[in-house]
Amino acid sequence: MQNDPIKDALTSQGGECEEIRLLMNRWLEDKPQEGQGLNSQLKARLTEICRGGEQHRPSRAIIAVHTDKLFDVDRSWTRENLIPSFRWLSSVEEARFAWSGFLVSPHIYPQLWKELKNDFIEAAKHYRGLGECRLNYAYLTVMMSVDQSDFLSGRETGKIIDELPDESWDQIAKCLYRLFDLAGKNRQQYWQGNMKRFIGVLLKHHQGRCLPEEAAGFLARICLAEAQLFCSVFEEVKQMLRPISNHHPILNQLNESDICHQHSEQALDFLSSLIDPSQLSSCPDALQECLNAILANQEQLGAHPQYQDFFAQCQKCGYVQKTVQG
């Protein structure tokens, strides 16, 4: 496995890396302003590092952490000396160090995005080589696709998703859930105006993948985040769901809502997508409660051909249908 470029650079003691860390920190403490340019002493040292050989790559990774601020303060210098390090076609190893540094705390605004966009998309092919900061790559992809859709088109997002490994979907789904949760009272508007389009891209490009359990769990939590949107969200994500072992939080959340009563058939479809009763040693109380609520509202679902196997497996692990008193 490849080393983690930025972790090594940020933790090394002494030598050039520590010098550059201290140099950049002192520069930031002076609160440089937009367009003021780099002072001659700092510019000379950073130029020496950026134009140096392979031995300076860890130091360039540290400089790349501050790409957005450097671009803001001295655009021409950054464009000429630092941006070339991000070009995958010039050198994969050089770009790996630069992107690993940038992704420590990524901030992109339109002018900088124009410089980095093509290589950001290309970086998906090198996801595993980006070290621990690769998680921020998945996060940034979601943020720009959902909240800044003018930064990435659906086709461009799909191109990235196609290149990302299955493991990245945990972070993608986690980020989606957090964004949806943060939308609060505006979730309905956020779903229609932001998230639904991105979910559609995921659905189109997930074919043939083995979605990680954690990703399926976060997608399930998105379904339950807003009861009024449950049917709409579930309809979009259900093809990406799979049975998960950590289903207790989902069952508890489902019971706390009124979804089993309001949308009984969809709730049963949701449960059968996430729970494999054949893998249960006993039927959890929370599952019993969900199923009883569903059948109390639509008893005929217990005999529905689509769910007969599911109910049969539930009964094998201890589910007993509660008799509805007349």
189-202 confidence digits (pLDDT tens) = 999 999 999 999 99
> How much is the mean pLDDT over the chain?
92
Residue 262: its pLDDT value, please?
94
Q: Model's pTM, two decimal places? A: 0.90
Report the distance separating Cα 206 and Cα 319, nearest Å.
34
What are the backbone angles phi and psi of residue 33, rounded to the nearest 5°? Answer: -100, 160
Residues 6+ apart with CB under 8 A from 126: 88, 92, 95, 96, 99
Note the residue count of the chain. Answer: 326
Q: Output the DSSP codes for 49-98.
A: HHTS-GGGHHHHHHHHTTHHHHHHH-HHHHHHHTGGGG-TTT-HHHHHHH
Residue 114 has pLDDT above 90, yes or no: yes
What are the backbone angles phi and psi of residue 142, rounded to the nearest 5°? Answer: -65, -45
Tokens of 200: 């559609």
Residues 6+ apart with CB under 8 A from 270: 220, 223, 234, 238, 241, 254
Residue 283: its pLDDT value, please?
84
Per-residue confidence band for 326, with pLDDT thresholds at 50, 70 and 90: very low
In terms of C-beta density within 10 A (0-12 exposed, 13-18 middle, 19 or more buried), how is residue 45 classed? middle
Lowest mean pLDDT among 220-234, 261-275, 296-310: 296-310
Residue 280 has pLDDT above 60, yes or no: yes
Are 231 and 266 a contacting pair, CB within 8 Å? yes
Residue 12 has pLDDT above 80, yes or no: no
Query: Which secondary-structure segment (H or E) carries 286?
Result: helix 285-297
**Interval 140-171: pLDDT, tens:** 999 999 988 789 999 999 999 999 999 999 99
Tokens of 157: 């997002």
Eight-class DSSP state of 193: I
Residue 319 has pLDDT above 90, yes or no: no
State the residue for tokens 């991105």.
Answer: 198
State the residue for tokens 């996801």.
Answer: 127
Report the distance separating Cα 101 and Cα 68, nearest Å.
12
Residue 116: its pLDDT value, please?
96
Residue 322 has pLDDT above 70, yes or no: no
Per-residue confidence band for 89, with pLDDT thresholds at 50, 70 and 90: very high
Report the distance separating Cα 325 and Cα 318, nearest Å.
21
In terms of C-beta density within 10 A (0-12 exposed, 13-18 middle, 19 or more buried), how is residue 31 classed? exposed
Residue 240 has pLDDT above 50, yes or no: yes
Dihedral (C-alpha) 146, 149, 153, 158: value to the nearest 10 degrees?
-10
Report the distance separating Cα 72 and Cα 35, nearest Å.
6
Residue 149: its pLDDT value, please?
77
Per-residue confidence band for 187, with pLDDT thresholds at 50, 70 and 90: very high
Residue 2 has pLDDT above 70, yes or no: no
- DSSP alpha helix (H) spans, the chain: 5-11, 15-29, 40-50, 57-64, 67-73, 75-81, 92-102, 110-123, 134-146, 154-163, 168-182, 187-190, 196-205, 213-225, 230-237, 248-256, 259-262, 264-274, 285-297, 308-316
